[in-house]
Amino acid sequence: MNSRREKLTGVNESGGSQLTSSSDEPRRAADEITCQEFVELVTDYFEGVLSPRSLNLVEEHLVMCDWCVTYADQIRATVASLGELRSEPAPGEPSAAVLAALQKRRERSE
Ligand SMILES: [Zn+2]
């Protein structure tokens, strides 16, 4: 059996030293934000003044970062307690009235 790959002979030819690699920064996709950037955007997020693009970035970050989900919850509570949040329910979120109605109905049916 002679199935060795020819490439094996070329493996050690790249110098062996990593000193020349100056690009140590992890490559970051242009459409991702860091936790710090999230923190800076989150108040605007709850005030609904983010641009569609930033809004998209924030929501994408929330999908993959538990820490920021927790942080966002705290900010939401803070903003709500300050009364700065507009009375309109956030898009995709049932209003308090709807929730109350649902709860009543559930209580009756049991
Ligand atoms: Zn994060």
DSSP sequence for 5-55 = -GGGGGGGGG-S--TT----SPP--TT---HHHHHHHHHHHHHT-S-HHHH
73: in domain = yes
38: in domain = yes
Is the pLDDT at 16 greater than 70, yes or no?
A: no
Distance 3 CA to ligand 1 centre (A): 47
Give residue for tokens 């929730």: 99
The pLDDT assigned to 81 comes to 84
**Selected residue with higher pLDDT from 109 and 22:** 109
1: in domain = no
Q: State the average pLDDT over residues 85-91.
A: 56
Distance 101 CA to ligand 1 centre (A): 35
47: in domain = yes
**Selected residue with higher pLDDT from 96 and 67:** 67
Distance 84 CA to ligand 1 centre (A): 24
102: in domain = no
12: in domain = no
Q: State the average pLDDT over residues 66-81.
A: 91
Distance 104 CA to ligand 1 centre (A): 37
Distance 34 CA to ligand 1 centre (A): 6
Which region, left, alpha or beta, applies to residue 26 given φ > 0 means left and ψ of -120 to 50 means alpha? beta
Give residue for tokens 């693009």: 53
Encode pLDDT of 90-99 as tens digits.
Answer: 566 667 777 7
What is the residue range of 40's domain? 30-86
Instruction: Domain count for the chain, please give it.
Output: 1
Burial of 68 (0-12, 13-18, 19+ CB in 10 A): buried
Dist CA 41 CA 54 (whole Å): 8
Distance 85 CA to ligand 1 centre (A): 23
43: in domain = yes
SS3 content of the chain, % helix, strand, coil (to 5): 60, 0, 40
96: in domain = no
Q: What is the pTM of this model?
A: 0.47
Distance 6 CA to ligand 1 centre (A): 45
The pLDDT assigned to 24 comes to 53
Mean pLDDT of the chain: 75
